[in-house]
Amino acid sequence: MTEQLAPPAGQQRAPERATPAVYDPPDIPGKGPTDWMGGWKWGIFAPLILLGLAIAIRVYQAFAVFPWGLDSSTTQFFWMWRMLVVAFLLGVGIFTVVWWRWILQSAKSLPQRFSRREEVRRIAVFWSLVGATSVNLYIEASFWPNQDGAFHQTLVRDTAFTVSHIPMFYLFFPLGVTLAVGTYLYGRTRLPAIYGPDKGFPWSFFLLISATVTEVAQVAMNEWGHSVNLGNAGAEEFFAVWFHWPFVLYGWLASGIFALWGETILRLYTIEDEEAADARDTVPAAAPSTTAPVRGGS
Amino acid sequence: MATATIDLEALRIRELAERRYKFIDRKWDLMFWVTAGFVVGAAANITHLLFAGDWDFWTDWKDRQWWMTITPFATIIIPSALQYIQWRAWRFPTGATYTAVCLFFCTWIGRLLQWKYFINMPINFVWSATWIPAGILTDYVLLKSRSFILTSLIGSAVWTMGFWMSNYIMQLPYLQPTRFMGHTLTVADVQGIGYIRAQTPEYLRVIEHGSLRTFLQETQYVSLAFGTTLCVFGYWVGQFLGRRLAVWPILKYLKQY
C-alpha cells in the first residue's frame, strides 16, 4: 500500500481542478465522422483541387507553349513563364505559412478531452490529408515527368526553367513538402494517441517528409547534371541517365506513407474494441425466456 | 486435434468477417484503395521512367537488347513491395496486378495528355507497354507458392516472360520489314525517321548496336534470360521497400522531445 505524504510546511495545496468535459461533435445528419460531407469532406475536395490545378496549368500550356514557351531569351517567355515560377513559389509559400499557422494556432483552443466519435472524425480528416499527399505525389512523379520526357526529347532545351519544369519543380515539388509536414502537424496536434509529442517523432513521417524534401533538393543536382550533359558534344536527352536516378531513390522513401495508414487503422480497431467493450458493459443481462425450459439451479 | 484447430480458426475468421463495427465501413476501404493507387502508380511510373523509360517511349526503341533486359528489373520493384504489403496485411495475392493496373492508368494518361496532345506524336508511335498480364501471372505464383523466395525466383522469370509475350504482340506489326529510300528497314525505324525528335539520337544511328547483335535471332532469348536475372535482384529491392520502409515503421518512433 502506498502512503500519502503530507505537503511540506508552508506549501499550499494546489486547488483541485475539475476534469474537463469530454467534447463530442454535434450530430448533424450527413456530416458525421464518416460521412462523405463530414469527416471525409477533404478526402474528396483536396485531391480534386490538386488535380484541377494540374489540369488548369496543362490547359494554359496548350495555349502558351508553342507561341511563347520555346525561346527563353524572349520578353514573352519572361512574362509568361519565368514570372510563373515566382508566382508559384510565392503562392506555395503563402499557403504553407497560412495553413501550418492555422493548424498550430487552432490546436491551442482545442478541447483537451474528446470523444471517440471526434477521434474517428480526426482520423478521417488525417486520411484525407494523406490521400491528398498521395495525389500530389502522383502529379509530381508521373503527370509532369511524362510531359518532361515528351518535351525534352523532342524540343531543344535552352534553360533550366523550361515550361515542363516550372509546374513540376516549382509548384508541386514544394507543395509535397507542405502537404507532408502539414499532415504531420495535424496528426501531432489532433491525434495525440498516435502522434502526440510524448510519443516521439514517427519513423513513418520521417520517411515521407524525407522523400518530399530530398526530391526538392535533387532538382539542383538534376539541373547541374543537365548543364554537364548539354556541354558535351552529344547534347542528347536520355531519361535513364545517372543524375535522374536520385529522384527514384528519394521517391522510394515515400513508402512510409503506408505506415501512416497502418498506424491509424490500428488505432481505429482499438477504438472499435473500446466501443464494443462499453456496449457489452451496458447491455442488461438477458432475461430467460418464459417458454424455454430452465435447466439447473435449485 | 488438427480438425478442432482448423474449426477454431474458421470460427475466429467467421467472427471477424461478421463483426459489426460502429465506425469502420466500406468508405475506409474505398479511400485507401483509391488514394493509395495514386502513390503506387506514381512510384511505379517514376521508377520505370527514370531507369528504363527511353526504351518504352518510342516503337523504334523497343529493341531486342535493352528493352526486355532492363524494363523487367525497373518495373518489378514496386509490384514486389506491394505484394509484400498486401500479402502481409490481407493475404491478398494482388500486389503485382494492383500496381500494374495503377501503372496502366498513369502511363496512359501521360502518353495521351503529354505525348499525343502536347507534342502531337501519333499514339501508335508512343504507345505504352502493359504489365497487367505479367502482374496476374506473378501474383498467381505467390498464391500457389505462398513464398516470397520462390516468387522472387519463379515470379521474376514469369514477370519477364509475361512482359515480353504480352507486349511482343503489340510490337510485332512495327517489326515488319519495309523498303524506305532504297534500304530495308522495319516499320518502327521508318516511324523514327518520319517523326523528328530533336534531342534523341539521330535516326541514322542504330539503336540496337551492341555486340549481342551478332547472336542474330538468339539475341532476344539471351536478353530475356539476363532480364530475368536482373529481375530477381529488383524483386528483393522491392521487398526491402515493402518490409523496411512501408511496414516496419508502423508505430516506431525516432525520439521524444
Who contacts A155 (Cβ-Cβ below 8 Å, separation ≥6)? Answer: A70, B119, B198, B199
> In total, how many domains does chain B have?
1
- What is the mean predicted confidence (pLDDT) over A85-90? 98
At which residue does the C-alpha cell 474505398 appear?
B30
Asked if A261 lies within 8 A of B119 by C-beta distance, the reply is no
Residues of B in contact with A40 (CB under 8 A): 27, 31
Residue B170, pLDDT > 90, answer yes
Question: CA-CA distance, A174 to A94, in Å (whole number)?
Answer: 12
Asked if A138 lies within 8 A of B39 by C-beta distance, the reply is yes
Q: Is A71 on the interface with B (CB under 8 A)?
A: no
Q: Is A66 on the interface with B (CB under 8 A)?
A: no
Of B238, B244, B223, the residue nearest B152 (C-alpha)? B238
- Helix B132-145 × helix B156-171 angle, to 10°: 160
* pLDDT on residue B18: 86
From the list B106, B201, B252, which residue is nearest A142 (CB)?
B106
Question: CA-CA distance, B95 to B89, in Å (whole number)?
Answer: 11
The band of A6, judged by pLDDT with boundaries at 50, 70 and 90, is very low
* Amino acid, res. A295: R
* Amino acid, res. A257: I
- Helix A116-138 × helix B26-52 angle, to 10°: 20
Inside any domain, residue B175: yes
Inside any domain, residue B214: yes
Who contacts B69 (Cβ-Cβ below 8 Å, separation ≥6)? Answer: B223, B224, B226, B227, B230
Q: Is B249 on the interface with A (CB under 8 A)?
A: yes
Architecture of domain A41-276: Up-down Bundle (1.20)
Q: Read off the C-alpha cell for A127.
A: 486520411
* Amino acid, res. B4: A
Q: Is B253 on the interface with A (CB under 8 A)?
A: yes
Question: CA-CA distance, A255 to A247, in Å (whole number)?
Answer: 14
Report the residue of A135, A140, A153, A157 to disrupt the B interface, i.e. the one with the largest count of B CBs within 10 Å: A153
Who contacts B230 (Cβ-Cβ below 8 Å, separation ≥6)? Answer: B69, B70, B72, B73
* pLDDT on residue A239: 87
Tell me the average pLDDT of chain A: 88
* Per-window interface: B 8-67 vs A, CB < 8 A: 21-25, 27-28, 31-32, 34-36, 38-39, 41-43, 45-47, 49-55, 57
Inside any domain, residue B117: yes
> Nearest CA to CA, how far is B244 from chain A (Å)?
9
Domain residue limits, chain A: 41-276
Question: CA-CA distance, A5 to A94, in Å (whole number)?
Answer: 54
From the list A135, A198, A207, which residue is nearest B245 (CB)?
A207
Q: Read off the C-alpha cell for A183.
A: 499532415
Inside any domain, residue B16: no
Inside any domain, residue B72: yes
CB atoms within 10 A of CB B113: 18
Who contacts A92 (Cβ-Cβ below 8 Å, separation ≥6)? Answer: A171, A174, A175, A178
Helix H or strand E encompassing B183 = strand B183-186
Phi first, then psi: what are they for A172, rounded to 5°? -80, -30
B178 three-state secondary structure: strand
Check if the beta carbon of residue A206 is closer than 8 Å to that of residue A242: no
Using a CB cutoff of 8 Å and minimum separation of 24, what contacts does A2-10 make?
A: none
pLDDT top residue among A225 and A181: A181
From the list A65, A134, A266, which residue is nearest B251 (CB)?
A266
From the list A40, A240, A258, which residue is nearest B51 (CB)?
A240
Domain that includes residue B56, residue range? 26-241
Phi first, then psi: what are they for A256, rounded to 5°? -55, -15
* Per-window interface: A 157-216 vs B, CB < 8 A: 157, 194, 197-204, 206-207
Residues of A in contact with B36 (CB under 8 A): 134, 258, 261
Helix H or strand E encompassing B87 = helix B67-90
Residue A10, pLDDT > 60, answer no
* pLDDT on residue A291: 47
Who contacts B12 (Cβ-Cβ below 8 Å, separation ≥6)? Answer: none
- DSSP assignments along A108-172, one per residue: TTS-SSB-HHHHHHHHHHHHHHHHHHHHHHHIIIIIHHHHHHHHHHHS----SS-TTHHHIIIII
Residue A128, pLDDT > 90, answer yes
- What is the mean predicted confidence (pLDDT) over B112-139? 96
Residues A62, A67, A69: CA angle, nearest 5 degrees: 75
> Nearest CA to CA, how far is A8 from chain B (Å)?
32
Count of pairs with CB atoms under 8 A, one residue in A, one in B: 227
Which CATH number goes with the domain that contains B110?
Answer: 1.20.1450.10
From the list B46, B198, B242, which residue is nearest A155 (CB)?
B198
Of B255, B193, B44, the residue nearest A255 (C-alpha)? B44
Q: Is B107 on the interface with A (CB under 8 A)?
A: yes
Q: Is A24 on the interface with B (CB under 8 A)?
A: no
- The model's pTM: 0.90
User: Chain centroid to CA B72: how far?
Assistant: 7
* Amino acid, res. B148: F
Inside any domain, residue B58: yes
Check if the beta carbon of residue A182 is closer than 8 Å to that of residue A100: yes
The band of B183, judged by pLDDT with boundaries at 50, 70 and 90, is confident
> Mind listing the pLDDT tens digit for each residue in A237-276?
788 888 899 999 999 999 999 999 999 999 999 999 999 9
Inside any domain, residue B21: no
Tell me the average pLDDT of chain B: 91
CB atoms within 10 A of CB A108: 7
* pLDDT on residue B111: 97
Asked if B119 lies within 8 A of A150 by C-beta distance, the reply is yes
Buried b (16+ CB within 10 A) or exposed e, A42-67: bbeebbeebbebbeebbeebeebbee
> Nearest CA to CA, how far is B224 from chain A (Å)?
20
A11 three-state secondary structure: coil
> Mind listing the pLDDT tens digit for each residue in A169-208?
999 999 999 999 999 999 999 999 999 999 999 999 999 9
Check if the beta carbon of residue B12 is closer than 8 Å to that of residue A223: no
